[in-house]
């Protein structure tokens, strides 16, 4: 199963991705993770990306595309993957189509998690992350058993600096202008699956699995 998942910041993508990964037995490929790996392993594209990041610039599309292509060429992706955080704009979406053609892979579905702005705000300000294992929590929807402590590894939870009301609106504007055209793109390709992500995470996952069938 070759899937991609998209949605506004705070749509619950991370939580769903973990569930889908184990349900389908496919790797969860987030661009953040690919970048960190490429940089720590000092691959050619990793080193190029590092230069941009060090100077405080966004990594250009062609570098991102190359890193994604390298990752999708690896053996564990042949049976399937869940791509998360890529594409971020229409140019990247078109590049992905080309990458997949080159690799002879057919994308089965582009899953769009559709969520209302007020729910996004509520989710983001209540989001907490484990400083050790990276597991995500939410003070309303997905509370840790013990306040401020990770259920899995016992480390402290923290709030990301950009998870505040002030930055959410900015992030939503960026999302609406850059990422929304991708939804239309996949609709035209006939593989878009719209999911009501205003519900609880396990219901969202259930809806995805039913609709992907
Ligand atoms: Zn943890």
pLDDT in tens, 77-106: 988 999 998 998 999 999 999 999 999 999
Tell me the CA–centroid distance for residue 159 and ligand 1, in Å: 13
pLDDT in tens, 25-71: 999 998 888 888 888 999 888 999 999 888 888 889 999 999 999 99
Tell me the CA–centroid distance for residue 72 and ligand 1, in Å: 28
Distances in Å between the Cα of 24 and the Cα atoms of 27, 98, 195, 203, 205 are 9, 25, 18, 17, 12
Tell me the CA–centroid distance for residue 137 and ligand 1, in Å: 10
Domain 2-117+172-212 has what CATH class? Answer: alpha beta
Distances in Å between the Cα of 177 and the Cα atoms of 75, 88, 135, 174, 182 are 35, 10, 29, 5, 10
| Active site (catalytic) residues | 13, 88, 127, 160, 171
Domains of the chain by residue range: 2-117+172-212
The pTM of this model reads: 0.81
On the question of pLDDT at 211 being above 90, the answer is: yes
Residue 83 neighbours by CB distance under 10 Å: 27
């Amino acid at each position: 199963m070759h899937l991609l998942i998209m949605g506004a910041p705070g749509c619950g993508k991370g939580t769903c991705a973990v569930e889908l990964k184990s349900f389908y037995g496919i790797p969860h490929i987030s661009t953040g993770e690919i970048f960190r790996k490429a940089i720590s392993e000092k691959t050619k594209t990793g080193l190029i990306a590092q230069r941009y990041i060090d100077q405080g610039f966004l990594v250009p599309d062609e570098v991102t595309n190359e890193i994604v292509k390298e990752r999708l060429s690896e053996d564990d992706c042949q049976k399937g993957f869940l791509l998360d955080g890529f594409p971020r704009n229409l140019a990247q979406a078109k590049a992905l189509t080309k990458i997949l053609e080159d690799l002879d892979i057919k994308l089965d579905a582009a899953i769009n998690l559709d969520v209302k702005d007020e729910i996004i705000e509520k989710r983001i300000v209540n989001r907490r992350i484990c400083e050790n294992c990276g597991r995500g929590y939410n003070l309303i929807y997905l509370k840790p058993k013990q306040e401020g402590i990770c259920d899995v590894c016992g480390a402290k939870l923290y709030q990301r600096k950009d998870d505040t009301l002030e930055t959410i609106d900015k992030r939503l504007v960026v999302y609406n202008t850059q990422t929304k055209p991708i939804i239309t793109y996949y609709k035209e390709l006939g593989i878009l699956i719209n999911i009501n992500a205003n519900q609880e995470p396990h219901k969202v996952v259930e809806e995805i699995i039913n609709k992907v069938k």
